[in-house]
A and B are shown apart, each in its own frame.
Chain A
Amino acid sequence: MEEFALDSGNTAWIITASSLVLLMTPGLAFFYGGMVRGKSVLNMMMMSFSSIGVAGLIWVLYGYSLTFGSDIGGIIGNPADYFGLAITDADSLMFAAGVPATVAAAFQATFAIITVALISGAIADRVKFGTWLVFAALWVTLVYSPVAHMVWGGGLLGADGPVATALSVPIDFAGGTVVHINAGVAGLVLALVIGKRKGFGTEAMRPHNLPFVMLGAALLWFGWFGFNAGSEFAADGTAGRAWLNTLVATGVAMLAWMATEKLRDGAPTTLGAASGVVAGLVAITPAAAAVDSFGAIAIGAVAGILCALAVSLKFKFGFDDSLDVVGVHLVGGLVGTVLLGFFATGEADAVASYGVWYPEGALNGLFYGGGFTQLITQIVAALVAVIFSAVVTAIIAFALKFTLGWRISEEAEVSGIDLAVHGETAYENSGSTITEVR
């Protein structure tokens, strides 16, 4: 068997990229925190921060092994293989790139963390913190790890799975199905099971701090360069392609969202710009290095417009997806995953194709002479992720509903979840006296 050969350049980049991706979760805390009302900003931020604790712990204990351990039925990895991250470089996920197993496991940990945190936006202002922590643990175990295994760990949606055999290899460069469709579906299911906030649709619930939202979008965009360019697993031209596409698709999506608002509402808003940024980031994620510049621009434009329109659906259908996890992450994830069926392009020699690359066994999209096969493959992969995530998330959500319970009391919700659940307030600074020190 081939010896592991350390590549210090690639390794340095993946350690850096891992740190960038981890920063996305605190960034998300600001992005979401600014969008809720002032009385619940701390709880919103805590749902993101606590995801780092819960998902990080599980990942180190058995989550990595569940995802990348030896395949069981195409659905899940063996949790005993690498329990406690007992893993050697011979089994490194990034063996070919010369990146050690520990570094590869660190990079993947940050993906599990951000995916759980994304869901929290759908259920703002109203859930018990303890139930959220238990949900996060169960969801990483029963939904994230299996879906990541199916796509990246050699399961159903991988290069050797039945979809690849029957059609072609599904393309998910950095996590359109695993992260965004998965989190978006879970958010929708939770919003439906947990129910609306008191006053949804009738009381004003406008964002309390738009500069926080912009700050969060900035941190997310910055971290996302690690997410997408790091997913190349190497410091090379394809990572550069992913970086460039993450720049241009995101910028175009921001412009497209603002243009949609200008035409529909009369003004391009900062909330719209920040939302467009995230919609573009989500949509380019699966396609990051698998499309050329023009494909990236098209994906950004479609994502910006469709997501801007999709965030109104919750009012039409009456589900309280508070911060539009469905409208931005599910719709954006579907846009990127499905549009790959039109715009995917790549060559075995990535240098000859300006860094554009997709896995062996995938095909060009419809607009690049590849016919309909890859489009059908992408739709099938998206549907598998949607169905698996919906079913298992629903089981977890109902199990928690009838055991721990999801909702805080109506009184606590009205007076503010920060005080009721965390015993603090973000902005009430006057009129306090110290009564006891411990």
Chain B
Amino acid sequence: MKLVTGVIQPHRLDDVKTALEGAGVRGMTVSEASGYGRQKGHTEVYRGAEYTVDLVPKVRIEVLVTDADVTAVTDAIVGAAQTGKIGDGKVWVVTVDDVARVRTGEHGDSAL
């Protein structure tokens, strides 16, 4: 099993959700995040005082998948989140030892 995590532009979330549903994903966790990569934020001016806002809003999307689905899910996120401009985000995959479904107590692939 793998955990696919994507940090993406907030305004791409709806498209990414749709793409993931198209790839057969039935559940995900979404949270608000903030951060920066190479784009290094932006500046804002308040009553003449200029601030560099380097932590900009992002959305973190997490999906647990079987080993066989990893490529399809990763590609779905990348494809739907891409605008081609800096600040599009990152997607990464890590191996997961075990997953338990709380409602039934099932473990492993059947808990996904």
Q: Which residues of A contact B (CB under 8 A)?
A: 204, 206-207, 261, 264-267, 269, 271-272, 275, 308, 311-312, 315, 324, 327
- Residue from B44, B45, B48, B50 having most chain A Cβ neighbours under 10 A: B48
CB-based contact B48/A206 at 8 Å: no
Query: Shortest CB–CB separation between residue A124 and chain B, in angstroms?
Result: 13
A-B contact pairs, 24 of them (CB 8 A): A204-B51, A206-B44, A206-B46, A206-B49, A206-B51, A207-B46, A261-B45, A264-B48, A265-B45, A265-B48, A265-B50, A269-B46, A271-B46, A275-B47, A308-B48, A311-B47, A311-B48, A312-B47, A312-B48, A312-B49, A315-B48, A315-B49, A324-B47, A327-B47
Which residues of A lie under 8 Å from residue B44 when comparing CB positions?
206
Which residues of B lie under 8 Å from residue A308 when comparing CB positions?
48
Q: Which residue of A lies closest to B48 (CB)?
A: A312
Q: How many A-B contacts if CB must be within 8 Å?
A: 29
1/0 per residue, CB under 8 A from A, across B29-63: the answer is 00000000000000011111111000000000000
Which residues of B lie under 8 Å from residue A264 when comparing CB positions?
48
CB-based contact B47/A267 at 8 Å: no
Extra pairs beyond A269-B45, A272-B47, A312-B47 (15, CB < 8 Å): A204-B51, A206-B44, A206-B49, A206-B51, A207-B46, A261-B45, A265-B45, A265-B48, A265-B50, A266-B45, A271-B47, A275-B47, A308-B48, A312-B48, A324-B47
**Chain B interface size, under 10 / 10 to 19 / 20 to 34 / 35 or more:** under 10
Which residues of B lie under 8 Å from residue A312 when comparing CB positions?
47-49
Query: Shortest CB–CB separation between residue B50 and chain A, in angstroms?
Result: 7
Q: Which residues of B contact A (CB under 8 A)?
A: 44-51
Docked pose: A26 CA to B51 CA in angstroms: 29
Which residues of B lie under 8 Å from residue A204 when comparing CB positions?
51
By Cβ-Cβ distance, the 6 closest A-B pairs, closest first, are: A312-B48, A265-B45, A311-B47, A206-B46, A206-B51, A204-B51
Q: Which residue of B lies closest to A261 (CB)?
A: B45
CB-based contact B45/A267 at 8 Å: yes
Docked pose: A311 CA to B50 CA in angstroms: 13
Which residues of A lie under 8 Å from residue B50 when comparing CB positions?
265
Query: Shortest CB–CB separation between residue B99 and chain A, in angstroms?
Result: 26
Which residues of A lie under 8 Å from residue B48 when comparing CB positions?
264-265, 308, 311-312, 315
Which residues of A lie under 8 Å from residue B45 when comparing CB positions?
261, 265-267, 269
